Amino acid sequence: MIGEWLDIGWVEEIPLRGSRTVQVAGGEDIAVFRTGENKVFALLDRCPHKHGRLSQGIVHGGAVACPLHNWRISLATGEALGADKGCTPVVPVKISGGRVLICRASTLRAAA
Amino acid sequence: MKHEPIRVAEADKRPHLIVIGNGMAGCRAVEELLARDPARYRVTIVGAERHVNYNRIMLSPVLAGEKTFDDIVINGRDWYDSNGITLIAGDPIVAIDRAARTVTSRGGIVMHYDRLLIATGSDPFIIPVPGKDLTGVISFRDMTDVDAMLAAAEKGGSAVVIGGGLLGLEAAHGLSLRGMTVTVIHLMPTLMERQLDEAAGWLLKTALEARGQTIMTGADTAEIVGDGRVEAVRLKDGTEIPADLVVMAVGIRPSVALAREAGLEVGRGIKVDDHMVTSDPAILAVGECVEHQGQVYGLVAPLWDMCRALADGLVDAPSGYTPAPTSTKLKVAGLDVFSAGDFSGGDGAEDIVLRDASRGIYKRVVVKEDRIVGAVLYGDTADGNWYFDLLRRAESVADIREALIFGQAFATGGALADPKAAVAALSEEAEICGCNGVSKGQVAACISMGAHSLDAVRAACKASASCGSCTGIVEILLALTLGGEVEAGPKTMCKCTSFGHDDVRREIVAQGMRSIPEVMQKLHWTTPDGCSSCRPALNYYLLCALPGDYVDDQQSRFVNERMHANIQKDGTYSVVPRMWGGLTNPRELRAIADVVEKFNAPMVKVTGGQRLDIFGIRKEDLPAVWADLNAAGMVSGHAYGKSLRTVKTCVGSEWCRFGTQDSTGLGVKLERATWGSWMPHKFKIAVSGCPRNCAEATIKDFGVVCVDSGYELHVGGNGGIKVRATDLLCKVATEAEAMEMCAAFIQLYREEARYLERTAPWIERVGLPYIQARLLPDAAARAELARRFFFSQQFSQDDPWAARVEGGEREQHAPMARFEPVAARQEEMA
Ligand code: SRM
Ligand SMILES: Cc1cc2nc3c(=O)[nH]c(=O)nc-3n(C[C@H](O)[C@H](O)[C@H](O)COP(=O)(O)OP(=O)(O)OC[C@H]3O[C@@H](n4cnc5c(N)ncnc54)[C@H](O)[C@@H]3O)c2cc1C
Ligand code: SF4
Ligand code: FES
């Protein structure tokens, strides 16, 4: 049986104020972030601006700065912050016993 | 021979409520029940501990010697007696028979229940490392543990506490007061990371270290060493810390074994509904052993709410438990730490931060849609309960927002809520700047004498020039005194601070600051962890100030400097190996050609910087590409770095009919000497063999034009958006002098330019005469600059590629997980 949540690893595998990716065969990567406050979020690894890899950006507060043109994207909503407009799909995350679980259905939808 | 079970006489006809667990939640539940209907149930409490009901959270003050066991008893013998409660202490329940509705104790007592309440609390989590069972390894959960710690402390020696959360730090504090040498080992990078943000965690660590404890963060225990009894703790990195006592305080797990064996539904804890009823209607559970709506708890406040809901249910007046936010305080005398709610921010959340370095205060309140959702306070926790109350009641703070962070007295103090009126009302003698002892009258005088900007005030009377916490007040004074004429202040580094780059750099050196959180605290950053502009700048400033000592913060670097390659628009990377002075050879070219083929690189290109650029490499393949290039003797070209890029050369005297000196050779020497150095911005060098200047040395940061009599040294040029030709710095006679001048110039630039300021704008700002005055007349000063440069180069000339090839930070290149949805789709359809 395939659960509704995908277990992708330990929280500690994601650097604090950093990010890792989850590869989806045949689809786009999911970027999984861990903030300075130890909260974990997941977004499609694609900036709403020109598709920069958000996983490679600088994480600060609850946002990530895209590495290509420095848009700031909210980790919680995927929404561009400040004057910029655009949104990247969010993948729900939960932590259970130190493991990071991401929502299977959203992962499929986002990466498709 | 088998023990005959002892049957307890059951004369009392009231329904029998048996409580397993004589701890905080179990007894509180009984108290709540008695308050509602003292006669309804016949109550028996069975406890594994031999004590009466005591306040577990006060074990820390007992360990610290501030309280005795008698002080922390909640309900003594008389409470049990006068309420007709049977207490069976020191005899744990070992089995529940749900069909027969009986429980059996280890001593063999079997009792029938009508309702059973499981309140078994938690078990300390013991990390499964070799040596965990040695004598001298204990946890911190009950009075027996405290007695064991006190006995160990009596003999003195060293204690290692594993776990830097609330419990571990309280244990460490107690043991340290009892005279032991204490080391705290914490896996995470900051202390109490679940309750505190990085800034507060850093302050806490500094304070504990000042009290003589050794705090090791990011430390992973590998083994507890000893022969029968503990002798040391060994970390994964090989460090060994001697220990006569080891306290494991890494976390707790709900105590569910009994419930699981009885077949109750158990997740992380015993699953209960809003009325604390388990999957068996006759059995209730409360406290840390339960799981409610997926949540388990480790603090008492929510347990009290559970006990109320439970008692309401037991007397048929069900109310239901609703989870509420919690708050935490550290119980270490003299260290005030408070945390409540959710301070992770998230969307639409805004941080209000107040830092006062001179008083060691950090306050952060997180506001979302005009409501407080979280707070972290360090140093001054007086308003903790006020914030927590506003949070719990979800009260709008729109009206008091401006003054919220200053606390209840200020925010609700009527006229004082207008900061301008408050400053105007201050007397002339009132001290504005605590660091430099400047009064309001002095600041005002200085403004009337012509200091019409913040910077001018800072220069004239030093007010707000040190920690900056009075910046706001000085600005108000400027506005009050000058009306509309305040001159725009110096450009601040970013919106996180009121300081400019130069102020920050000066203070880092003056105050000997050593980490990003320290700078943010001491200079009153208004955000908890900075932004993508200030973090890379601070990381560079610290790196420059503490060569060899500062631990680079990877997460404060732009992606290219983290991946040691240039990110492209499609998310792949380009790789540029160094070609010293633009020279190459068949071996290098072959290796590059092989890499291009092996990794299917779609393009190779000769760059404008005289080397080859391989495009379209996947992040995952970078280490393998580097390994192949390293094998041919090539290292990173830092085409991505705020660092030395290339040294462009022309053929020079060795071949060219006009060449005056060996420009190629000097270029190679310069590149060998300067590569790997981190700088405020990228830095390019070129050496031309004659004034025809084929290497374009006069649009480089440092350019050498060779002439018959020596070397003309040029500085401050660049191509790019705004072309600037160099200024002639000086002329020297020998290569050695040219090399020294180059090193001294780079170091001056490294130490004094602002982050992301290339040499051209820097020189335009400070003026060529200033640079010349620093480098030319005083040979000793110049030599000293060059010495500092070469000293720092010792630590930066390691090929970053080689380190990754060796396996360092491999995770940066590998995905965390792979997911094959194909099978899943099929199954979904099936
Ligand atoms: C690869 C290369 C173009 C080429 O194919 O020739 C190149 C490529 C880039 N240049 Fe350049 N510059 C390259 C030589 C130059 C030169 C020529 C030179 O060095 O002689 C210049 C003008 C000289 C100068 O720097 O003053 C040049 C002036 C710039 C500028 C403007 C700098 C300025 O101060 O105004 C930028 C933008 C910046 O750095 O902020 C820039 C930025 C960039 C970036 C890094 C853009 C970026 O941030 O992604 C490009 C990276 C592409 C990549 O992934 O490799 N590049 N760039 C050259 C690499 C040289 C090398 O071997 O390292
Ligand atoms: C040193 C320390 C400091 C703390 N400080 C704070 C603080 O500052 N603030 C805060 O909110 N919380 C604090 N806590 C946490 C708080 O003490 C717990 O949340 C609380 O005690 C939980 O109550 P409980 O009744 O669920 O578990 P407990 O109080 O642990 O009670 C469970 C009892 O059940 C007994 N038991 C277990 N199994 C059996 C069995 N099979 N048969 C019979 N008896 C059994 C146990 O021996 C124990 O006595 C602290 C905890 C410790 C250890
Ligand atoms: S000139 Fe512009 S497009 Fe060309 S490499 Fe440089 S930055 Fe990129
Ligand atoms: S692609 Fe992200 S900011 Fe342009």
Answer yes or no: do B173 and B266 share one domain.
no
Whether pLDDT at B827 is above 60 = no
Query: What pLDDT band is residue B324 in, cutting at 50, 70 and 90?
Result: confident
Average pLDDT score, chain B = 89
Answer yes or no: do B298 and B215 share one domain.
no
Beta bridge partners of A20: A32
Range with lowest mean pLDDT among B293-297, B334-338, B380-384: B380-384
Instruction: Determine contact: A70 vs chain B, CB below 8 A.
Output: yes
Answer yes or no: do B55 and B131 share one domain.
no
A–B: how many Cβ contacts below 8 A? 140
Write down which residue in B203, B230, B250 finishes a domain.
B250
Whether residue A53 and residue B346 make contact (CB cut-off 8 A), yes or no, is no
Q: Which of B63-77, B271-285, B552-566 has the highest mean predicted lDDT (pLDDT)?
A: B271-285
The SS3 call for residue B659 is coil
The tally of domains found in chain B comes to 4
pLDDT at B487: 62
Answer yes or no: do B115 and B38 share one domain.
yes
Instruction: Determine contact: B780 vs chain A, CB below 8 A.
Output: no
What global pTM score does this model have? 0.67
Beta bridge partners of B22: none
Contact of B544 with B754, CB cutoff 8 Å: no
How does DSSP assign B144-155, residue by residue? HHHHHHHHHHHT
What pLDDT digit, counting tens, does each position of B100-140 carry? Answer: 999 999 999 999 999 999 999 999 999 999 999 999 999 99
Domain of B108?
Answer: 6-122+254-314
Contact of B54 with B147, CB cutoff 8 Å: no
Distance CA B677, CA B800 (A): 12
Answer yes or no: do B740 and B763 share one domain.
yes
Give me the residue from B194, B345, B824 closest to A2, CB to CB: B824
User: Has domain A5-103 been given CATH number 2.102.10.10?
Assistant: yes
Answer yes or no: do B112 and B259 share one domain.
yes
pLDDT at B3: 47
The more confident residue out of B330 and B412 is B330
Structural domain spans, chain A: 5-103
Whether pLDDT at A81 is above 70 = yes
- Sequence-separated contacts (24+) of B711-715 with Cβ below 8 Å: B711/B661, B711/B666, B711/B735, B711/B737, B711/B738, B713/B738, B713/B741, B713/B742, B713/B745, B715/B745, B715/B759, B715/B763, B715/B768, B715/B771
Within 6 Å (CB) of ligand 4, which residues are found? A 47, 49-52, 66, 68-71
Residue B447 lies in a domain: no
Range with lowest mean pLDDT among B329-338, B565-574, B697-706: B329-338
Answer yes or no: do B649 and B777 share one domain.
yes
**Residue ranges of B 546-575 with Cβ closer than 8 A to chain A:** 554-560, 562-563, 567, 569-571
pLDDT at B471: 77
3-state helix, strand, coil in chain B (%, to 5): 35, 25, 40
* End-to-end CA separation in angstroms for chain B: 58
Contact of B353 with B526, CB cutoff 8 Å: yes
Contact of B780 with B827, CB cutoff 8 Å: no
Answer yes or no: do B151 and B269 share one domain.
no
Answer yes or no: do B31 and B106 share one domain.
yes
Instruction: Determine contact: A61 vs chain B, CB below 8 A.
Output: yes
pLDDT at B462: 74
Q: Which amino acid is at A98?
A: G
What pLDDT digit, counting tens, does each position of B131-184 carry? Answer: 999 999 999 999 999 999 999 999 989 999 999 999 999 999 999 999 999 999
The SS3 call for residue B510 is helix
The more confident residue out of B441 and B407 is B441
Answer yes or no: do B185 and B209 share one domain.
yes
**Would you say B656 is a known binding-site residue?**
yes
Closest listed residue to residue B443, CA positions, set B434, B433, B435? B433
pLDDT (average), residues B636-644: 94
Contact of B122 with B216, CB cutoff 8 Å: no
Contact of B392 with B381, CB cutoff 8 Å: no
Answer yes or no: do B111 and B203 share one domain.
no
